[in-house]
Amino acid sequence: MKDKIERKRAIMRIITKKKVSNQDELLSLLRDEGIEATQATLSRDLKSMKVVKMHSPAEGYFYSVPDDLRHVVPDTDAKHTMAGIVSLAMSGQFCVFKTRPGYANMLGAIIDGNSPVGVMGTVAGDDALLVLLREGTPHEAVLNSMEEFLPGLRAKVI
């Protein structure tokens, strides 16, 4: 999972600094940074990161991430975020995160922005976050999905 997060961070860094026009070019730039990936993996990453192709008459087509999504993945400092999470309890259609004061809103934005499996939305306070799950969503699926962008989350489950 760590490799996936590092790969997504590299993708975000590359496409925000350069006008990358296709997946072959992006794969080459990733290899230049020592990151190996297949075209299928890259395609899934781009989709999950909500990367779109933009067009400019002067520059042609290039990958971009809408400004309102740039904060969600992968620039988020996962270690910093995890340090703010005290615990996670799951019951029925609810997940309740207890956080250090001031962390709940940031965590809610990260979760909403990453659209994990089965999550309908979040409601944040100062030191608690309620995550609403779709009916019938297995807790294991939610945890697996959230661990993609919050590695080590399982250790916080009570």
Residues 6+ apart with CB under 8 A from 83: 100
> pTM of this prediction?
0.56
- Which pLDDT tens digit goes with each residue over 33-77? 899 999 999 998 888 888 888 877 887 888 887 664 444 444 445
**Is 121 within 8 Å of 109 (Cβ atoms)?**
no
Q: pLDDT confidence of 135, banded at 50, 70, 90?
A: very high
Determine phi and psi for 120, rounding to 5 degrees.
-90, -35
- Which pLDDT tens digit goes with each residue over 68-113? 444 444 444 566 788 899 999 999 999 999 999 988 988 998 888 7
The torsion region of residue 92 among left (phi > 0), alpha (psi -120 to 50) and beta comes to left
Place of tokens 């299928």: 40
